[in-house]
Amino acid sequence: MYGPINILIADDHQIFRNGFKLMFSRSAKIKVIGEAANGKEAFEVAERIKPDVILMDIQMPVMDGIEATKALKQSRPKLPIIALSTFDENIRIKSMIQAGARGYLLKDANEAEVQHAIEEVINGYCYFSDTITKRIADITSFIDSNSVTFGGIQFKENEIKVMKLMCEEYSSKQIAAEMDLMPKTIEWYRDILKKKIGSKTMAGIIVFATKNEIC
């Protein structure tokens, strides 16, 4: 995209919002155009100023980040939202993914990681820090317990299913329907697969699956 990425910061702590504004004041790529102190305000401000990305705290008064994310995804389905939290509890991660968040960062993330996460989601990808990725891998509702090894890499049963359907040129929505999962979950699976095989593209997943006779 041309010009800076315009972001909205939603957090009930002024000092945290100020810290983010200071961080991005030095960046030519990212510009803070709005802020909110609770989920309800985040929804209202976002509807008015139309940010490119929202950094959304989970625990906020009036309306929490989970409910605000659900409301915003109803209004603007393609709006990228990155969850922010001081916790990495499975239930919070799962709830934000189900609400429609495209990323999840802990609040101790450094400037480089936050900027990278914003750039990833604006380009249509999901982003979860390494710590969060490891925690998600333990959520049984997202990943089953059985694993299979291909090319020296262990894959869960559902990851194999996703790769097979990708080889058949199924879209995320079609794969979700086939596996009775949410499209957002399939997008998350795709990002995990890219990290596992060391690919930056979806095509790389298909090439890996073909070479290892998964397809």
Mean pLDDT of the chain: 86
Among 136, 162, 189, give the residue marking a domain's end.
Answer: 136
The percentage of residues in the chain with a pLDDT greater than 70, rounded to a whole number, is 90
Among 90, 113, 136, give the residue marking a domain's end.
Answer: 136
What is the average pLDDT across 142-159?
Answer: 72
Which domain does 163 fall in, by range? 147-211
What is the average pLDDT across 102-129?
Answer: 88
Among 136, 164, 190, give the residue marking a domain's end.
Answer: 136
Does 10 share its domain with 77? Answer: yes
CATH (domain of 203): 1.10.10.10
What is the average pLDDT across 78-96?
Answer: 83
| Tokens linked to 128 | 């979860």
142 occurs within a structural domain: no
Q: Are β-strands 127-128 and 103-106 bridged in parallel, bridged antiparallel, or unpaired?
A: parallel
- Residues 31 and 51: beta-carbon distance below 8 Å: no
First-last CA distance in the chain: 35
Q: What is the pLDDT of residues 10-54, one digit of tens each?
A: 999 999 999 999 999 988 899 999 999 999 999 999 999 999 999
This prediction has a pTM of: 0.68
Number of domains in the chain: 2
d(CA 12, CA 75): 22
pLDDT for 89: 67
Does 114 share its domain with 13? Answer: yes
pLDDT at residue 68 greater than cutoff 80: yes
40 occurs within a structural domain: yes
Does 106 share its domain with 162? Answer: no
